[in-house]
Structure 1
Amino acid sequence: MLKSQEPNDERSWELDRPVRAAEYVRMSTDHQKYSTENQSDAIRQYAEARNIEVVRTYADVGKSGLKLEGRDALQKLIDDVQNGHADFTVVLVYDVSRWGRFQDADESAYYEYICRRAGISVQYCAEQFENDGSPVSTIVKGVKRAMAGEYSRELSTKVFAGQGRLIEKGYRQGGPAGFGLRRTLIDEHGAIKGVLRRGEHKSIQTDRVILALGPSEEVDLVREIYRAFVYDGRRESEIAADLNARGLATDLDRPWTRGTIHQILINEKYTGDNVWNRRSFKLKKKRVRNAPNMWIRAEGAFEAAIDRELFEAARTIINARSFRLSDEDMLQALQALFHRHGALSGIVIDECEEMPSSAAYRSRFGSLLRAYSLVGFTPERDYRYVEINRELRKLHPGMVREVIDGLQARGSDVRQDFETDRVIVNGEFSLSIVISRCIQSPTGLLRWELRFDTSLAPDITIVVRMDSTNHAPFDYYLFPHIDRLSDKLRLREDNDFGLDAYRFDDLNLLYDIATPVPLPEVA
């Protein structure tokens, strides 16, 4: 008599056991057609039909799919896969676009390859092809990846065109109003709804923002600044010193500086013009400064604080300062100074009253070293790093101010310790800003060397990594105090995941996590 096979046979149990899977869901905005819940529902139905058990969820909510940076959940998924911490053999994604709208389709394929190399397959639940590695699936998937990236490019173009039309109609697109002006909210019919305070934004999609004149005392002060500069011939620094001596402050309740006066004198919004696209930052690419012929403008969009003739007179004076001497005249003066002293430096130039300033030589020729080379002077040492460090030290207060403004705009309470430049946020944690100079190796590779001030002991150190010219930020690193491995660190263009997990294109994540959230009242 034959003995029947036991139903709980080990091999039979192995065949019946569900496949363990992780789901990855993502949406860019709260207004997106497919919410993470809808994606998850579709994934669960797909899993149930194939005897797959979803054991883990990785969710990026409100995250762009253009780059890996900022997508903490996908980074965690890749990290778990690479470090052998994954307790699943399949990753379920709604479709190719949810995996990412990478502008380089190869980047999307690379992250999938990392999973496949670790023995973990990626399956797209709503696509009409099986991701089985066949030639057909490979071709279709490549097309889908390209389409996902192209969708973002087309959307960016449409959004840019829409913003440009709003500018031409006289509507304000972001940014603080500035001294003497206020952001005013109007409805779709042009009726004024109120003045927006700093950090406030419109809440209704059809509302628009325009610029309007602020308090009369501020407007009068703007006109006084222009008259003092144009009619009285006073320099920006002299005007700033006079205002500070009178106890007057800027719209940010800070002392006046040469820079704040200069910005008022060169900004066309005080003539009522609406100007946009001076800088652009598209598809998470590097922020660039655009040429004037790319600017979008609408003349007379707002009520003017000053006459256009007065503004043009101020601009003429400022431009004349740069073109008063030709390049040849400046170099002849520099060469004569070199022959008298036998050497050149920024201090030697600045102490010579009949000479343009060292800053003027830097601006005209790109750097002092280039000006030196044009007159035949070669320093005994390479002083480029001294110039760069000097310029970066000048940038530091502005960087600190930018971080403070960004935090305050999101509602955080911020206090600065002026002795150490530490920033205390909401009385809960401290920040310190470090600017890292870019160094180019003889082979052309870029490096950044960091040195942390251990005496400050901030909770988070913001590292501003400068670009190859050391003129503008390249990206940012946010290093928590507990995760910092040493007091010195050397960064390459591309680092391992343990370091680049802290890298961001901007500081929006910091501003978001620092935003205080009011707790509901307890009944």
Structure 2
Amino acid sequence: MSLESLQSNPKRAAQYVRMSTDHQRYSTDNQADKIAEYAAARDFVIVRTYADEGRSGLNIAGRDALRRLIDDVQSGSADFEAILVYDVSRWGRFQDADESAYYEFICRQRGIHVHYCGEQFENDGSLTSDMMKVMKRVMSGAYSQELSTKVFVGQCRLITLGYRQGGPAGYGLRRFLVNDRDEPKAPLAAGEHKSLQTDRVILVPGPDDEVETVRRIYRLFVLELRSEREIATILNAESRKTDRGRAWNRSVVRQILVNEKYIGNNVYNRVSFKLKKTRVVNPPEMLVRRDGAFEAIVDPGLFAAAQSILAERARRFTDDQLLDLLRSLLASRGALSGMIIDEVEDMPSTAAYRSRFGSLLRAYELIDYQPARDYRYVETNRQLRLMHPDVLASTVAGIESIGGEVAVDERTDLLVVNRELTIAIVIARCRRTEAGSLRWRIRLDAGLRPDITVVVRLESDNATVRDHYLLPWIDVGAKLNIGMAEDNGIMLDAYRVNDLAPLYHMLRRHAVERAA
């Protein structure tokens, strides 16, 4: 074959471009220009483009184009023999450098070579090349860690200055916008966010009737010794609604009783989700706070009294005393149930047993009591029902914190985001097989057909969140029942994330320049 014929048959290549929100120099157009120069110099013709715009590089979740690229390579449908990428960081800033190498290995195994067009080394398999790639991958992951640290330090500084960092205000409070000189600008309605980077958000008292209701909750709890459940019953009997337009329950009342924002304190870093890692509830010494940051709507003395009651309630009985009371009740009644326990005036509530031992059934096991019926699924389902509102509220708060507008269907709990995208939340119970492995069963709702189903997988205790799956209906809707194991292969685990940060990033609105 002649040299001329070789030059007239360029090699077919696909380009992969990804733009996060950190640097303009990484815009997809800039990447494509550099790739085009590389292709022209190396006799490649670009026949296909895979583009992820506004996507984090920390993992593959949410990066539809990269997943589609890997799927095309693995299925043998790729009609190209090379992949051109701007640099190692555009392939991904994975926290595990081996994950980046794994996806490149998949391509190389199918005879498709990955070229990093903007790097100063050839990806030719040499020792120097491999060492440079490892270093670049580690550096890319370290950059994300450094950026995360800088953002966290900046958020902590704003907290100590008295400014609110994301999330809804809560019942009885409202968010208010101030400028860089702390001069008031305007109230912020639900779903509204600041438009200037120099503006800040504070909390102010809400409507008078809500403020009075919050104060009344504290009086009922401290002065009349009413339980959270009794207070919720009183408010519901008066047809009052929470700030989300829902009925009151024990959990909502308790959140009001324990949150320091009602006495004006600004508290941050209760929970950590850094870099898609495991959710961690931080100890008190790690909290970042500014006392007296906002105007208090509850008397500090009344708040302190409420905390004393809650603390005393928790330590009133030792574990052995709680179990002895349960044994005595069993001896007198001959059987135990949640209803039997709660109807006895001097007995601790079933909530106390669940809080202390994890579940009522676990308390039964500790006194060697076996119910006539197997209530394990009943107890687990009860826990899931109690967990669902908190997961829903947390997800809504996360979306609103990045500027998203969320409406919740009160009948179905379907989230409508920015008036165009629907999200369903499913909590997946964990089941242990006889062999000891873990299994989950996911049922998608064909009646709702949400654009995305957020699956919250629980650990074997069915109380701790293990991970999440972001399942697009367009990809998985045909399978209404999905069985999951601990590892499910790339076709399903590509949707797995440690937390919902990728979902929030995907839903973040991005400014679009107006054409001239």
TM over 0.5: yes
Letter in 1 for 2:76: G
> Which residue number in structure 2 is paired with residue 284 of structure 1?
276
Q: Residue in 2 aligned with 1:499? A: 492
TM-score (norm 2): 0.89
Cα distance change of structure 1 residues 481 and 122 upon mapping to structure 2, 3 Å threshold: closer
Residue 466 (str. 1) matches residue 457 (str. 2)? yes
Contact kept in structure 2, 1:186 and 1:192, CA below 8 Å: yes
Q: Which residue does 2:114 correspond to in 1?
A: 122
1:46 equivalent in structure 2: 38
Distance in 2 (CA, whole Å) between partners of 1:188 and 1:405 is: 25
Map of 2:229 onto structure 1: 237
Structure 1 residues 157 and 132: CA distance shift in structure 2, 3 A = same
Distance apart, 1:379 and its partner CA: 5.0
Residue matched to 1:35: 27
Alpha carbons 1:436, 1:463 under 8 Å: kept: no
| Structure 1 residues 413 and 146: CA distance shift in structure 2, 3 A | closer
Q: Distance in 2 between matches of 1:54 and 1:429?
A: 33
SS of residue paired to 1:377: coil
- Alignment check: 8 A CA contact 2:404 2:418 kept: no
The one-letter code of the counterpart of 2:449 is P
How far apart are residue 92 of structure 1 and its match? 0.9
Mark the structure with the bigger radius of gyration: 1
- Name the counterpart of 1:367: 359
Residue 26 of structure 1 pairs with residue 18 of structure 2: yes
Matched, 1:357 2:316: no
Amino acid at match of 1:139: M
Q: 1:220 aligns with which of 209, 212, 218?
A: 212
Structure having greater relative contact order (Cα 8 Å, sep ≥ 6): 2
- The whole-number CA distance in structure 1 between the counterparts of 2:133 and 2:235 is 64
TM-aligned CA deviation for residue 506 of structure 1: 5.4
Q: Report the CA distance between 1:393 and its aligned residue.
A: 2.5
Give the aligned partner of residue 450 of structure 1.
442
1:438–1:465 CA contact under 8 A, matched in 2: no
Structure 1 gaps of 5+ residues are 1-8, 518-523
- Select which of 70, 77, 86 maps to 1:85: 77
CA-based RMSD of the aligned residues comes to 3.1
Aligned to 1:138, what secondary structure does the other structure show? helix
8 A Cα contact 1:187 1:206, kept in partner? yes
- Which residue of 98, 104, 115 corresponds with 1:106? 98
- More deviation, 364-373/274-283: 364-373
Conserved? CA contact 2:168–2:397, under 8 Å: no
Aligned partner of 1:187 in structure 2 is 179
Who is 2:60 aligned against? 68
2:285 equivalent to 1:293: yes
Which ranges of structure 2 fall in alignment gaps of 5 or more residues? 511-516
Report the residue type matching 1:396 in the other structure.
Answer: H
The one-letter code sitting in structure 2 at the alignment partner of 1:262 is R
- CA 1:211–1:407: 2 relative to 1, 3 Å: closer
- For residue 142 of structure 1, what is the aligned residue in structure 2? 134
Once residues 390 and 346 of structure 1 are traced to their aligned partners in structure 2, the CA distance between those partners, rounded to angstroms, is: 12
Secondary structure in 2 aligned to 1:48? helix
What is the alpha-carbon distance in structure 1 between the residues aligned to residue 256 and residue 35 of structure 2? 56
Report the CA distance shift for 1:356/1:460 in structure 2 as closer, same or farther (over 3 A): same
- For residues 436-471 of structure 1, give each alpha carbon's deviation from its aligned partner in whole angstroms, at most 9, with x where no partner exists: 1012335543210134565x3534572523321322
CA contact (8 A) 2:396 2:406 kept: no
**CA displacement 1:120-165 (0-9 Å, x = unmatched):** 1111111111100011111111111111111111111121111111
- Judging changes above 3 Å, is the alpha-carbon distance between structure 1 residues 144 and 431 closer, same or farther for their aligned structure 2 residues? closer
Q: Which residue of 2 aligns with 1:6?
A: none
- Determine helix, strand or coil for the equivalent of 1:283: helix
- The number of aligned residues is 510
User: Which of 324, 339, 342 is the aligned partner of 2:331?
Assistant: 339
CA contact (8 A) 2:449 2:477 kept: no
**Structure 1 residues 401 and 319, CA, compared in 2 at 3 Å: closer, same or farther?**
same
- Would you say the 8 A contact 2:7–2:43 is kept in 1? no
Distance in 2, matches of 1:502 and 1:36, equals 24
Correspondence 1:189-208 to 2 at 5 A: 189-208=181-200
Q: Which of 45, 57, 61 is residue 49 of structure 2 equivalent to?
A: 57
Find the counterpart in structure 1 of residue 255 from structure 2: 263
1:276 Cα deviation from its structure 2 partner: 0.4
Q: Percent identity?
A: 54
TM-score (norm: length of structure 1): 0.88
Check 1:144–1:403 CA distance in 2 against 1; reply closer, same or farther (3 A cut).
closer
The one-letter code sitting in structure 2 at the alignment partner of 1:76 is R
